[in-house]
Amino acid sequence: MKQACKYNIIRFKPYSDTQEFVNIGVILYAPTTGEFVFKLLSQNDDARVTAFFAKLDNAVLHDTLKLLEGELGRVQKLSYSFHDFNLLYNELIRPREGTIQHSSHSACFTTNPSETINELFEHYIHRSRPDKSGE
């Protein structure tokens, strides 16, 4: 059975003065089941980011990804037991100044949040498009 989920794109914005960003991950929350999943850019897969921000020290991106993975892992552990996880999710993605920002909410329907996060990641981070060769 399909369930409604909300998701947000994680944006890396190291230079606040230019407002430029690169998508580096996706978070998804399924309120019906309480499932919270995320997927981040691998530290070995940073070529697109480092090409875009050519003068950026790679350590800034790698440290950011490491910290973000730890934080999202802690949030994920709370997803099934937190009294009102929706409040926590909204706090996680609320607009703020900083290197990490989130897109506005988007919604999707899925039977498998773990599979859907991979599809969203491929679309928003690796910029893949659905294969329409069979049409």
d(CA 48, CA 26): 16
Beta bridge partners, 107, equal 6
Highest mean pLDDT among 15-19, 33-37, 47-51, 118-122: 118-122
Q: Model's pTM, two decimal places? A: 0.89
If one compares 5 and 82, the residue with the highest pLDDT of the two is: 5
3-state secondary structure of 75: helix
**Higher pLDDT, residue 82 or 8:** 8
Residue range 91-132, pLDDT digits in tens:
999 998 899 999 999 999 999 999 999 999 999 999 876 554
In the structure, what pLDDT confidence band is assigned to residue 80 with cuts at 50, 70 and 90?
confident
| Three-state secondary-structure class, residue 101 | strand
Three-state SS across 92-113? HHCCCCCCEEECCCEEEEECCH
The predicted-structure confidence for 44-68, as pLDDT tens digits, reads as follows 888 889 889 999 999 999 999 999 9
